[in-house]
Amino acid sequence: MYHAIVFLPLIGFLIAGLFGRLIGARGSEIVTTSLLIVSAVLSWIAFFSVGFGSGTTRIQVATWMASGGLQVDWAFRVDTLTVVMLVVVNTVSSLVHLYSIGYMHEDPHRPRFFAYLSLFTFAMLMLVTADNLVQMFFGWEGVGLASYLLIGFWYQKPSACAAAMKAFIVNRVGDFGFLLGIFMVFVLTGTVAFDSIFPQIAGLTERSFRFLGYDWNALTLTALLLFMGAMGKSAQFLLHTWLPDAMEGPTPVSALIHAATMVTAGVFMVARLSPIFEYAPVAMTVVIVIGATTAFFAATVGLVQNDIKRVIAYSTCSQLGYMFVAMGVGAYSSGIFHLFTHAFFKALLFLGAGSVIHAMHHEQDMRKMGGLRKHIPLTAAAMTIGTLALTGFPLFAGYFSKDAIIESAYAAVGHKGFAASYAFVLLVVAALMTSFYSWRLYFMTFEGKPRWGADAHGHDAHGRDDHAHAAHAHDDHAHAAHAHDDHGHGHDHMPHESPLVMLIPLAVLSLGAVAAGFAFKEAFIGHNYEHFWKAALFTGKDNHILHEMHEVPGWVVASPFIAMVLGFLLSLYMYVLSPDVPRKLAAANPVLYKFLLNKWYVDEIYDFLFVKPAMWAGKFLWKKGDGLVIDGFGPDGISARVVDVTNRVVRLQTGYVYHYAFAMLIGVAGFVTWYLLARG
């Protein structure tokens, strides 16, 4: 069964990738989607059989490599953590495949698109089933490659190519740290297999390691390097800059990357390596601080974004910060629980946003929407459910998982000190902002007066939007089926509801957004959670955070709900009752508004510190190093000088006898002169 779960997406990738032209777009869609649905059904069977039944299982596939003391097997590690991730990855991926049949129906390159989707899924499955660090790194790099291919799927768009390169390069920074962390683990333990690594960790707590001229605690250094990899893949603060730009890919790609696959890989990795982090308290503190900072930072930026997909993207970034706070305080199952529920409602929000974009003829700017609830009621209902789940409305999925993380942060104050207090305050504030920008998105999109169409905002005589070149106004089908003309005349058409093949995934994800938290709360974080996890997650003997979180004061339990209500009321006031307030507020605080709109100027700082110096150095080495030195004095330069001398010497060979006779007389005269002078 597990072989089928992992390899069916790979088979789909090979069929669509190699034979896509032969079987056509429809055949590629049917093959890849059918195989993913089968894989998803098998994943749910595995989830109930492992999570509520058997324990850890190791399935040997092959011996991968053996070099000296390094033995790497290709094997599946199947435990509760694995099957939770299998459900998340394959369920969301299969629904994204199904949704894409309707969303990408105009694109002439659908076989390639569906092949990439299946490759992405296979790489993520390799990552989550990994039995050792090398296999995990293989899947880790695989999702990086697939994300590059999918973000830049419309490679005719310069912005898509730039976004794909940015995602790839920024992740290489994090992956460098991850690779060093893997090397550290091998140096310390002599193995990369999890079953051999984990029993040795407790004996390494006092060991030091010299790095960059300093003596470090070996486990602290290892955990920090591994977390650097997680920061890149899961878009944590300072390595987050690739995530919003990834919106240049088709909307189904956004749902897959942000809900189930790539960005959750870092959280999964920290959970899988919980024995290492549990014995590295300094590294755990760093995880808490970075996670809380990310949750707050991304929420502040989400307040002012106008691109519907970017608002949801920053929401993803913020929610990942919540998950890392849970990891940092030692509440690993709370973090994975939020990863599990988040996959449903975040995929729902992204696919719902795609349905809105589809209805609006590829418009993404929320300032050009409004009043859509009457035209696309089913999409509006799905987006409402997703918003309720994200903001933590009682009994919806996010209410159970996000609140559990906030309670865990408060419960950890006695153990983690200032870091836990810092996290608790920032997470509650982020919950208020999450509610505000989520309902802002809903109100700007679905309520109020329509701001689309020829009468809503100035079109010229040809119906072409004056803001057609505004930032982020263009999206998804810009290159699919040559849809540029839609920007000229499409807004004059009435918005329309999406086809059934796009609405079915929204309905399934809506069910998950409503019920996933309530149905699985006891299993993930209840009083008997150990029975469900069966040692898939490691907690030290002094780690009682999951018991203590149930004993926090009532005001702590109520704080995220109060924050959610305040955020909703504030958004209702500013975008429904008094819609002029946001504009006046932005005009009254231009510095703060521009600071948030420009994402704290992190991109500009990186551009100044890294990009421009690198470009200058590259140009200098190209012009001066390559052009002047190497071409001037190297092999090319020598050959050029030989050619120059030869060309001059050849001119002496004229072919005229009197020229040669004259040269001989000159030679004789010179010889005679030398002879006479030399003789005295």
* Bridge pairing between strands 214-217 and 208-211: antiparallel
pLDDT at residue 680 in the model: 61
Q: Are 8 and 94 in contact (CB under 8 A)?
A: no
What is the percent of the chain with per-residue pLDDT over 90, rounded to a whole number?
62
Encode pLDDT of 371-424 as tens digits.
899 999 999 999 999 999 999 999 999 999 999 999 999 999 988 889 999 999
Higher pLDDT pick, 270 / 646: 270
3-state DSSP call for residue 486? helix
493 band by pLDDT with thresholds 50, 70 and 90: low
pLDDT score of 469 more than 70: no
Please name every residue paired with 71 in a beta bridge, in sequence order, or none if there are none. Answer: 66
Encode pLDDT of 332-342 as tens digits.
999 999 999 99
Closest to 222 measured CA to CA, from 292, 284, 139, 134: 284
* Bridge pairing between strands 208-211 and 70-78: unpaired
Cα(652)–Cα(189) distance, rounded to whole angstroms? Answer: 75
Mean pLDDT of 190-196: 92
Encode pLDDT of 80-92 as tens digits.
999 999 999 999 9
170 band by pLDDT with thresholds 50, 70 and 90: very high
Residue with tokens 């109930």: 48
pLDDT score of 465 more than 60: no
Q: Are 121 and 150 in contact (CB under 8 A)?
A: no
What is the percent of the chain with per-residue pLDDT over 70, rounded to a whole number?
93
pLDDT at residue 480 in the model: 42
pLDDT at residue 477 in the model: 44
E-only strand ranges, 195-282? 208-211, 214-217
pLDDT at residue 496 in the model: 85
Mean pLDDT of 520-526: 90
Dig out the tokens for 537 from the structure.
């997650």
CA atoms within 13 A on the CB side of 573: 9
In the chain, where the domains are located: 2-597, 634-678
Encode pLDDT of 243-282 as tens digits.
888 888 888 998 888 777 788 999 999 999 999 999 999 9
Q: Are 34 and 15 in contact (CB under 8 A)?
A: no
pLDDT score of 297 more than 80: yes
Encode pLDDT of 598-611 as tens digits.
989 999 999 999 98
Closest to 347 measured CA to CA, from 375, 404, 300, 389: 389
Dig out the tokens for 608 from the structure.
């100044």
Mean pLDDT of 303-317: 93
